[in-house]
Chain A
C-alpha cells in the first residue's frame, strides 16, 4: 500500500504561465531591492561589519529595558540589545560596533557595567565574539568571491554537461578571467568585481548561446536576490552562516533545475519532433512529483532545524527555508521557460508547428 500525490502524469501548462511568473518574480525582486535601498544595503552582522557581540545569560528574571539602561551608561559605540530565545531564558544579545583596535576592551567595559548594574555573579557570557574591521572586510570579500566562483563553475559545468560545449564553456571562463583581471588591475572595489563578473558571465552566456547555463544562472541570481531581499525586509543580519545558506540554496535550487534539464535532454534525445516549449512543459510535468517530494522533504528537515536547532542556527535555517521555496519555484517557472525565450527556433528540429503561440516560432516553421 503506497500513496502518491500525483496519480497520473500531470499536464499543467507551465510555459503558458511564464509571463505571469516572470512578473511575480520581478515584483518580488523589486520589493526586496526597495527594502535594500531604503535600509542602505544589507544589514551586516559582525562577521562582515566588524564589532562585538556578547551573548549574556542572567541567572534571574531580567528586564531588557534595565539591561539597555545599564549599558547605555557605559558609552558603547552602536549599542544594540536584543532578547534571545524565550523571555524566561533571560538571555540577551549585546552588540556594539567597533572602533578600530579597541574592540578587545569593549568586552571588559560591558562586563564592568553589568557588574555595577547587576552584580558579577548574576550573569555569564555564553559567547563573546569580536571581529576587527579588517577581518570583517576580508570576510566580506571572501564571501563575494565564493558566490562568484560558485556561479562561474556552475555555468561552465552546465554548459559542458548539457550542451556538450566544453569549448564554449572554456571560452567563457577565459573571457571572464580576462575581464576580472583587467578590473583588478584598476583596483576596482570587490562589490563591483562581483557585479562585473556576473554581467560578463551573463553576457558571454548570451553571446555564446549557452542557454541552459544562462537559464540556470538567471534562476540562481533570482533565488539569491529574493532571499536577500526578504532578509532585508525581515531586518535579519547577514553573517557567514547566511552566506553558507545562500551558497547551499544555490546548490539546492540548481539540483532541481538540473533534474528538469536532464529530462529535457532525455526527451530531446528521443527526437520526437516536438517543439521546445512542448518538450519543456513535458519535462517539468514529468519531474513534478519528484520536485514536490524532494523540496517538501528538504523543507521538513530544515523546518526541524529551524524549530529545534537553537538560536545560533536559527537564521541559517530561515534562509534555507526561504531558499527551498524560492529555488523550487524558480526551477519550474524561471530556469526552464527562460530557455524558450532565449533559443532561436532554428536550434531545435521542429516538425510540428509551435503551440506556444509565439509568432517568431511559427514564421520560421512555416
Chain B
C-alpha cells in the first residue's frame, strides 16, 4: 500500500497535496463564495450609487459616498465606540474566561455544577438579556440603584444606561457577561487538547498544579489564545444584536456602533447606497485590524 508514497517525487507529492487540499476546501469555499463573498462584492458595487434600496433606478455617483464617509463624523464616532468595545471586550472576556476555565480545569469533575451555571448567560437570547438588564439597571427599582440606595442610606440613582459615557461601558459590561462563558468553554477545550501525559510527567517530576498551569499549560494554549482574541476582536467590531435590543445606539448616539449605524441608514432611512458604503468601510476596517492583529501576534509567537 505504501509503495506509491515511497516512490513519489517531491513534485508529485506537491501535486497530490494541492489536489487533496482542493478537495477538502471546495465545499467550504463554494458556500462562502455564494453566501458571503458575492454579497460583499454586491455591497461594494452598491456603495457607488445613490439608491433608496427599493427603487428600480439607482444613480451612479462614483466615489461620492466614500468621500462623504471619510468626512462623516457619526461614522468615525461609531468606529471609535467599536474600538472601545473591542479593547474592553478583549480585556474582560478573555482573561475572565481563562480564569474560569483554569479554575474548572484544576477542579475537575466536582466543579461541573459551576461550569453549567457559569455557562448559562451564553445560552440566553439577546432579547432576554437586553430586557433583564434594562430592568436590572433601571434608575427606578433596578437592582443597581436599589443596592446603592441601601448602601448610601438614602435614595440614590445610578444612571447607567441614560447618560453618555456610562451607557457604552454598561453595554460593554453586559456583552462581557454574555460572551465570557463562551471563552470559558473555549479554553476548557483548549486545556482538554493538551496531552495528558504532559501533566502526568509534570506531576511525577513534582510540579504543583499552579506551576503546571503557569509554566506549561498557558504557554501551550498560545494559538488557542490568539484565535480567541481574534474572535473577540472581530465580534466586537461588528456587534449588533444586543445593542440593538438594549439602546438602539442611544442615548444621543453614545452607543452607536458601525453596524447599528449601517442598519439605520440601509433599512430605516432609505439610504441603501450610503448604508452599503458604511458596510463596505466597516468591512475594510475590520479586516485590516484583524490581519494587523494576527501579524503582530505571529511575530511574537515565533520568537
The answer on A and B forming one complex is no
- Chain A positions near chain B (C-beta within 8 angstroms): none
**Footprint of A on B, CB under 8 Å?**
none
